[in-house]
């Protein structure tokens, strides 16, 4: 409850009851008035001038608090402002009531361009005119100019409806129920005629549609197009259905064929759509015209995607077996496309294996989107969750299934993502521009155009052990090292030979021969496919395997000493 007074409380509240009881059922006898509007209402003479309240407080379309009364309404605009209901109407005079019986005073009075509405589950104007979502009623009136002729009126509603032309009621279905189609016919003279429509909503879905057209005077052939409704928006596969009989038939329905045309009569430029199935059970027709006409329903499935967007006229032709002639009925519809295309799928690298690439203009492919009206193309975006062809790294492309980053926009060596939006031939896109990760199909990847670096750890200049340990390591600032090649060369004038190829090891042992000098070098691969170049011709390091010295025992022979002689031992072997 809005505190119009600006005090710390919600202000005064009064429940005003204008009726002594809820009779007839469905009327609402009491409403709440409070705050500053209540203060305005209590000013001298205002309760008489305003009349009783006809709505609770609500927030109107301008965002202002409002309460409605019998003769107008009060809005709170920093102060209470009184407005009277309009008294002249350029189109339809609409009077809304917060009951199902159009009793008491209206809740809202205004001019409307059309009585046709599809409120679905909501209140009229989403509750911003003070009318409830359920148990309300409306009266529309308007004077229109008609040419002389016979007119067929048709309504489609949830729930009840009544229609008068110049005071003559031609449609009367004041009952609850959805999907009601009713028709009425009247002969009119040339000039102005007043149409009055009354409608009520019980609960659940709420909609109303009325249309009329000038037709030939009644004949023995009687037929109706129940669906689609006149002027209805249609898309995709539409059921054209109704019933047809020849009342002059002595047995059976008197009708054998039903054909459907579009945008012209048979033989008059109309597009033949096909033959409808005929013979459907129509007990409602039998209840009016007799049991022999029970199986008089027809149905035809029309793919409206074969027609351009906009207004089209359907012609239903009926062949009478009584007169051996064709009669037709017509209905205008409006073909729309509100269904976006499917999304492109399986967005993936094209010619490379992700998620890393050494190409800064990588290519991508995807599986095509689909749409009943055809795919016009795609929007591709780099590092933007809203592909719309709007700016920067955002491109509109034709209906293809592959694309590469332009040479004029090479990517930096960082993480990126590409996203794709499909668009159909009527301009609808999927997904819509939500700027949210994951709404559009996307692929994340890393560009790395710099090769890794690696080296074999320095060995001692010489070793006496022909089997020695060898280690190497590498680094990569982008995608990371994935493997190594290691080469060995025997001697300074030898030929480099592959020792290890594509290894993921970083250490192992090498066994050479004594008296040989071995040179080593390595190169690294990264995950993006970059390959390091070999180092200089002498490699990263080398070592010389020295020959081992052999120790043999010295055998001392006993000497025969001669006087003045000194024994001389045999010389030892070199080690």
- The DSSP element (H or E) to which 44 belongs, if any, is none
Asked if residue 473 and residue 383 are part of one domain, the reply reads no
Q: Considering only CA atoms, which of 305, 66, 307, 101 is closest in space to residue 198? A: 101
Helix or strand or coil: residue 169? strand
Task: Output the pLDDT for position 498.
Answer: 97
Domain check: are 22 and 103 in the same one? no
111 touches 90 (CB < 8 A): yes
Residue 210 pairs in a beta bridge with 155
Question: Which 3 state secondary structure label does DSSP give 409?
Answer: coil
β-strands 429-430, 415-424 pairing: antiparallel
Q: What is the 3-state secondary structure (H, E, C) of 196-207?
A: EEEEEECCCCEE
Q: Are residues 322 and 247 in the same domain?
A: yes
Mean pLDDT, 10 residues at a time, the chain of 575 residues = 41 56 56 84 85 91 93 92 95 96 94 95 91 94 94 94 96 92 92 98 94 77 94 95 91 95 92 97 96 97 94 95 89 93 95 94 97 94 79 83 94 93 92 74 94 97 96 94 97 95 98 96 96 92 80 42 39 32
Assess whether 412 and 518 both reside in one domain.
Answer: no
Q: In what order do the strands lie in the sheet with 255-262?
A: 233-234, 325-335, 310-320, 255-262, 271-275
Residue 398 lies inside a defined structural domain of this protein: yes
Q: End of a domain among 60, 84, 108? A: 84
Q: How far is CA 70 from CA 52, 67, 133, 340, 360, in A?
A: 6, 10, 20, 46, 72
Same domain, 474 and 537: yes
For residue 61, is it within any domain?
Answer: yes
Q: Is residue 8, in this structure, part of any structural domain at all?
A: yes
65 domain-assigned: yes
Question: Is omega for the bond preceding 228 within 30 degrees of 0, making it cis?
Answer: yes
Q: Is residue 348 part of a domain?
A: no
CATH of the domain at 238: 2.60.40.650
Sorted by sequence, the CB contacts under 8 Å of residue 389 that are 6+ apart come out as 379, 395, 396
Task: Kindly report the CATH number assigned to the domain that includes residue 185.
Answer: 2.60.120.260
The pLDDT value recorded for residue 393 is: 72
Residues 98 and 146 in one domain: yes
CB 412 within 8 A of CB 445: no
Q: What is the Cα–Cα distance from 256 to 524, expressed in whole angstroms?
A: 83
Residues 6+ apart with CB under 8 A from 83: 72, 73, 74, 75
In a shared domain, residues 118 and 179 = yes
Is 112 within the bounds of a domain?
yes
Q: How many residues does the chain have?
A: 575
> Of 337, 352, 376, which residue is a domain's last?
337
Long-range contacts, 503-511 (Cβ 8 Å, 24+) = 506/471, 506/472, 506/473, 507/469, 507/470, 507/471, 507/472, 508/469, 508/470, 509/467, 509/468, 509/469, 509/470, 510/467, 510/468, 510/469, 510/470, 511/466, 511/467
pLDDT of residue 389: 67
Same-domain pairing of 393 and 502: no
Q: What is the DSSP string of 371-392?
A: -TT-EEEEEEEES-S--SS-SS
User: How many CB atoms are located within 10 Å of the residue 396 CB?
Assistant: 15
pLDDT at residue number 570: 38
Q: 562 Cβ partners below 8 Å, 6+ apart? A: none
Among 290, 291, 292, 294, residue whose Cα is nearest residue 280: 294
**Where does a domain end: 417, 447, 477?**
447
Nearest to 195 by CA among 140, 136, 242, 158: 140
pLDDT at 23: 54
413 in a structural domain: yes
Instruction: Please tell me the predicted confidence (pLDDT) of residue 21.
Output: 52
Locate 337 and state its tokens.
Answer: 């496309």
442 bridge partner residues: 419
Is 575 domain-assigned? no
Q: Residue 366 in contact with residue 348, Cβ under 8 Å? A: yes
DSSP letter for 120, please. Answer: E
Q: Tell me: do 505 and 429 sit in the same domain.
A: no
CATH number of residue 502's parent domain? 2.60.40.10
Residue 135 and residue 80 in one domain = no
Same domain, 131 and 26: no
Domain count, the chain: 5
Residue 471 corresponds to which tokens in the numbers above? 């280690």
Parent domain of 421: 361-447
Same domain, 157 and 68: no
């Amino acid at each position: 409850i809005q505190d119009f007074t600006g005090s710390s409380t919600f202000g005064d509240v009064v429940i005003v009851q204008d009726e002594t009881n809820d009779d007839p059922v469905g009327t609402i006898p009491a409403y709440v008035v409070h705050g500053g509007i209540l203060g305005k209402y209590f000013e001298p003479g205002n309760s008489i001038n305003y009349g009783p309240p006809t709505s609770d407080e609500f927030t109107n379309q301008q965002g202002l608090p409002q309460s409605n009364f019998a003769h107008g309404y009060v809005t709170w605009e920093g102060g209470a402002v009184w407005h009277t209901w309009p008294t002249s109407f350029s189109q339809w005079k609409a009077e809304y009531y917060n009951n199902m019986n159009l009793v008491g005073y209206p809740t809202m009075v205004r001019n409307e361009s059309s009585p046709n509405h599809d409120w679905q589950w909501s209140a009229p104007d989403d509750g911003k005119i003070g009318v409830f979502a359920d148990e309300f009623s409306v009266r529309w009136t308007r004077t229109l100019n008609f040419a002389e002729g016979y007119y067929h009126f048709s309504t489609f509603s949830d729930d009840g409806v009544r229609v008068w032309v110049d005071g003559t009621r031609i449609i009367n279905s004041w009952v609850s129920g959805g999907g009601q189609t009713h028709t009425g016919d009247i002969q009119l003279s040339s000039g102005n005629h007043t149409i009055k429509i009354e409608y009520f909503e019980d609960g659940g879905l709420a909609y109303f549609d009325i249309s009329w057209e000038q037709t030939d005077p009644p004949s023995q052939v009687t037929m109706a197009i129940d669906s689609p409704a006149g002027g209805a928006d249609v898309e995709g596969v539409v059921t054209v259905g109704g019933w047809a009989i020849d009342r002059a038939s002595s047995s059976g329905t008197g009708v054998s064929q039903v054909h459907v045309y579009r945008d012209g009569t048979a033989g008059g430029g109309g597009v033949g759509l096909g033959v409808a199935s005929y013979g459907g059970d129509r007990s409602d027709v039998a209840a009016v015209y007799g049991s022999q006409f029970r199986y008089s329903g027809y149905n035809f499935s029309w793919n409206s995607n074969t027609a351009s967007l906009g207004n089209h006229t359907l012609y239903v032709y009926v062949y009478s077996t009584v007169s051996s002639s064709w009669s037709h009925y017509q209905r205008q519809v409006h073909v729309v496309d509100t269904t976006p295309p499917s999304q492109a799928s399986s967005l993936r690298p094209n010619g490379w294996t992700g998620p890393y690439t050494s190409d800064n203009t990588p290519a991508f492919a995807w599986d095509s989107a689909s749409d009943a009206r055809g795919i016009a193309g795609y929007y591709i975006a780099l590092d933007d969750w809203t592909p719309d062809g709007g700016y920067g790294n955002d491109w509109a492309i034709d209906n293809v299934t592959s694309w590469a980053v332009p040479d004029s926009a090479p990517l930096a060596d960082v993480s990126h993502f590409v996203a794709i939006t499909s668009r159909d031939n009527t301009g609808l896109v999927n997904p819509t521009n939500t700027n949210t990760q994951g709404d559009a199909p996307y692929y994340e990847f890393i560009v790395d155009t710099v090769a890794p670096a690696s080296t074999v750890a320095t060995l001692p200049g010489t070793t006496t052990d022909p089997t020695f340990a060898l280690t190497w390591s590498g680094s990569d600032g982008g995608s990371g090292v994935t493997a190594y090649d290691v080469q060995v060369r025997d001697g300074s004038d030898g030929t480099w030979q592959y020792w290890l190829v594509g290894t993921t090891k970083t250490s192992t042992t090498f066994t050479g021969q004594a008296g040989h000098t071995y040179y080593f070098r390595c190169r690294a691969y990264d995950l993006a496919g970059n390959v390091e170049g070999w180092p200089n011709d002498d490699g990263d390091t080398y070592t010389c395997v020295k020959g081992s010295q052999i120790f043999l025992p010295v055998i001392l022979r006993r000497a025969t000493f001669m006087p003045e002689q000194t024994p001389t031992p045999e010389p030892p072997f070199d080690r």
